[in-house]
Chain A
C-alpha cells in the first residue's frame, strides 16, 4: 500500500483567506479527509479541505514543497 501526500488548507472564519496548515500522508482521498480533520483539530475551523500534492500545479518555481514531487509517489 502506497501513501500519498495531501496538503491541508483551512480557514477559521467565513471570509478568511484559505491557509496552508500542514499535510498528511494517506492511502486515498477518504482517509486524507479524516486524517486532516483529526490531525488539525486544534481550531474550530469554518472550512477545511485537502488536495493531493501531485495535483497542485506550480506556477513560478519547480523546487518548492508543492512541486508535486516532494514525498509523493507521483
Chain B
C-alpha cells in the first residue's frame, strides 16, 4: 500500500492541484445531482422517479463529502458551496444545461456519471487519506447508478429509431466535454499523478472507454473515435462555459437561504 500523502509536504503548486481536483469532483457531483433532480417529476414511471430522486440525494451527499475535503487545503467549504457565481464552477461541461428528454438524462447517467466514477476510483486508490476512506462507499452507491444507466441505455437503444436517435445524439454531444475533463493532462493533473494522488488521465480514459465501448456501440457511436473538446481552462479544470444560472441558484440554495438560521 502506498504511503499516505502528507499535505504539509506539498509545495504551492501541489496544494493548488489538490484543491482543483477536489473542487472539480465536488462541483461535478453537485451538478450531476441537480440534473438528476430535474427528473424527480417527469420520469417514465414512479419507480424511475424514485430511483433518480435517490440518485440525486446520493450525488449531493457525495458532493458534500468532497467539499468537506477542501478544509485540508485551507479552503472554507461553506463559501464555496453557497457564494460562488456560475462562472467559478469547475463542474464538467456536459452538465451545464438541463436535459430536455429522458434519453438525454439516460445518456448523462451513462456517459457522465461513469466518468465521475472512474475519476473517483483513481482518487480512492491514491495517497490522499480522505479519498481512500470516504470514496469507496460512494463507488458502492454508484454501482446502482451504473446498473440503472446500462439497463435504460440498452432499453432505449433497442426501441424506436426516434428514441435511439435521441440517445445517439445525446451521447455524441456529451462525450467531448467528458473526455476533455477526464483526460486532462495539464500541469496540475500531472502533479497529482506524480504525487500519487490519482491515476493518470491516460489510464483513466482507457478504463472509461473500455467500460462504455459496448454500450455506445448500440447507438453506432464508436467511443474510441470520440475526441475531447478544445478550449481547456486550466484554472477551472474544465472546458469553456459554465452551468446555467437556474441550476446554480438551486445548487447554492439562493431562494430560501435567508431563512436558514445558523
How many Å from the CB of A11 to the closest CB on chain B? Answer: 19
User: Within A33-65, which residues are at the interface with B (CB < 8 Å)?
Assistant: 33-35, 37-39, 41
Cβ of B45 and Cβ of A3 under 8 Å apart? yes
Contact of B54 among A3, A24, A41 (CB under 8 A): A41
The total of chain A residues at the interface (CB under 8 A) is 16
- Inside 8 A of A28's CB, which chain B residues have their CB? 151, 155
Q: Mark A1-45, 1 if CB is under 8 A from B, else 0.
A: 101000000000000000000001111101101110111010000
Q: Would you call B55 an interface residue if the criterion is a C-beta within 8 Å of the partner chain's C-beta atoms?
A: yes
Cβ of B144 and Cβ of A37 under 8 Å apart? yes
Cβ of A38 and Cβ of B147 under 8 Å apart? no
How many Å from the CB of B45 to the closest CB on chain A? Answer: 6
Chain B contact-residue range equals: 10 to 19
Interface of B is mostly: helix
Cβ of B151 and Cβ of A27 under 8 Å apart? yes
Cβ of B54 and Cβ of A27 under 8 Å apart? no
| Given A1-B155, A27-B155, A41-B54, A35:B47 Cβ within 8 A | yes
CA distance A23 to B148 in the complex (A): 17
Contact of A30 among B48, B53, B147 (CB under 8 A): B147
Q: Would you call B99 an interface residue if the criterion is a C-beta within 8 Å of the partner chain's C-beta atoms?
A: no
User: Within B43-96, which residues are at the interface with A (CB < 8 Å)?
Assistant: 45-48, 50-51, 53-55
Cβ of A39 and Cβ of B47 under 8 Å apart? yes
CA distance A25 to B48 in the complex (A): 9
Contact of B47 among A1, A25, A30, A41 (CB under 8 A): A25
- Inside 8 A of A25's CB, which chain B residues have their CB? 45-47
Most buried by A among B45, B47, B53, B148: B47
Residue in B closest to A23 when the chains form the complex, CB atoms: B47
CA distance A39 to B47 in the complex (A): 7
Cβ of B51 and Cβ of A34 under 8 Å apart? yes
How many Å from the CB of B139 to the closest CB on chain A? Answer: 15
CA distance A28 to B48 in the complex (A): 12
Residue in A closest to B44 when the chains form the complex, CB atoms: A1
Q: Would you call B209 an interface residue if the criterion is a C-beta within 8 Å of the partner chain's C-beta atoms?
A: no
Q: Would you call B150 an interface residue if the criterion is a C-beta within 8 Å of the partner chain's C-beta atoms?
A: yes
- Inside 8 A of B46's CB, which chain A residues have their CB? 25
How many Å from the CB of A72 to the closest CB on chain B? Answer: 15
How many Å from the CB of B62 to the closest CB on chain A? Answer: 16
Besides A30-B147, A31-B151, 13 more A-B contacts (Cβ < 8 Å) are A25-B47, A30-B148, A30-B151, A31-B152, A33-B147, A34-B148, A35-B48, A35-B50, A35-B51, A38-B144, A39-B47, A39-B50, A39-B51
Offer 12 A-B interface pairs, CB within 8 angstroms, sorted by A: A1-B159, A3-B45, A25-B45, A27-B151, A28-B151, A28-B155, A34-B51, A34-B151, A38-B54, A38-B144, A39-B47, A41-B54
Give the interface of A toward B (CB within 8 A).
1, 3, 24-28, 30-31, 33-35, 37-39, 41
